[in-house]
Amino acid sequence: MTLLAQYYVPGLRVEDRAIDVPLDWTGKQPGDAFDGETIRLFYRVVTAPEHVNDDLPLLVFLQGGPGGSGPRPLDPASDGWIAEAIKHFRVILPDQRGTGRSSRVDGTVMRRIGDPAAQAAYLKHFLADSIVKDFEHLRRTVFCGRQWVTLGQSYGGFLTLTYLSFFPEGVTASFTCGGIPHVPADATEVYEHTFPRMARKTAQFYERYPQDAERAAAVADILANGDVTLPNGDPLTVERFQMLGSDFGMKPSFERVHWILDQAFLDGDGSASKDSPLSEEFLASVMNATASRPLYWPLQEFIYADGELERPIHWAAQRVRDSRPEFATGARPLLFTGEAMFPWMFEQEAALRPFAAAMDLLMDDTSWGRIYDVDQLARNEVPLQAAVYFDDMYVDSGMQLDTLSRVGASHYWTTNEFEHDGLHGSVVFGRLYDEALNRGDLESLF
């Protein structure tokens, strides 16, 4: 391992570290020596200042995404769960491969690779099967095989089930928040559940802010005429405008979108008018709110690809959207979309265009790495405590509970008090931790 830096931010002692891992784990086992092409896995070790010299249990955070880097805390309270976790654990914050400082993947990397087939093959190395092997290699080597607790947020819950499928011996207990996937995985099934929730969220938004239905319709009418460009040069189309709904599963997303729409129109007092130009401030806000993270959209549908598929994924969200005319750009009230990837994005967005040719190949691919072992999950003995958000827009609560009914040693807390980002407040992790502690699931740690 390489220690890159050590320092303090308010309330936290931080170490920046990195190790080499194989780009391709085929034929290799975590913890063993390996050869071939490598990439860097960056991670932080975060400790409360008063516990720097204490031998605390380890907790590794499995970040949401896909394509999400680990937290960059400003202080313990800036990401609510950290304040509670550092009371009990030494916390490991990895940047998943391809994100943050872990051999980051973006359009520049795709252009460097060049050949679409090679790009597609490269991207397949950045999914759950490889991510979990990276973490298990980190545990076995740097942390000398010491068991750790996992905490998975959103996609981190998907990674949790992959971890429990193939390396349960490395984990003493697991927590997940809004992140239990449906097993068996099926992207089309996911979006068949997701689009009705998008429609309900839009209806709730307009109920809270009725004036925004007129504003959104007027903006869409302006955009339908074309020739509206964002500050970065991307065209602003109705489809991209609809993606403001990607935030609707978080709090206070309705308010964030409301205030974006409030400044949309340039002329007069800013009332809705399809004859008014759109303000530069509005265009900048939409650009920032809908900006693409480099791996988030390219990997979005492939997180549901498990082993040999009977049929290719082939743009699952677009196929489901096409079956629902209420989401058409000309429909009124205009419906917003959330956490769904569409082929037009790889044509319209400069950041995603370098991925386009590879995406066409991957969408027709049926051969993927295994991410779940159903039999192993059924006989799982690692205590799993899940927070299931009943109104979760991104990960259907009914599908989460169905999966949990078939995972051994699993427990869940179902609540509608929080949205998908509930972990980032001050309540959720403390509640899960106390439940596991009082059940005796953490006895081996202390």
CA dihedral over 106, 108, 109, 111, signed as positive or negative: positive
Mean pLDDT value across residues 167-190: 97
Q: Compute the distance between CA of residue 404 and CA of residue 407 in angstroms, rounded to an integer.
A: 5
Q: Compute the distance between CA of residue 310 and CA of residue 214 in angstroms, rounded to an integer.
A: 44
pLDDT in tens, 217-264: 999 999 999 899 999 999 999 999 999 999 899 989 999 999 999 999
* Residue 1 reports pLDDT greater than 80: no
The answer to whether the beta carbons of residues 314 and 363 sit under 8 Å apart is yes
Give CA angle at 144 (143, 150), nearest 5°: 45
Task: Look up the pTM and report it.
Answer: 0.97
Q: Nearest 5°: phi and psi at 241?
A: -60, -40
Question: Pairing between strand 12-22 and 2-9?
Answer: antiparallel
pLDDT in tens, 153-173: 999 999 999 999 999 999 999
Is 167 exposed, middle or buried (CB count within 10 Å of its CB: 0-12, 13-18, 19+)?
middle
- Name the residue ranges covered by the structural domains of the chain: 2-184+371-445, 187-362
pLDDT in tens, 291-313: 978 899 999 999 999 999 999 99
pLDDT in tens, 256-301: 999 999 999 999 999 999 999 999 999 999 999 999 788 999 999 9
**The residue type at 90:** R
**What fold does the segment set 2-184+371-445 form as a domain?**
Rossmann fold (3.40.50)
Q: Compute the distance between CA of residue 276 and CA of residue 279 in angstroms, rounded to an integer.
A: 9
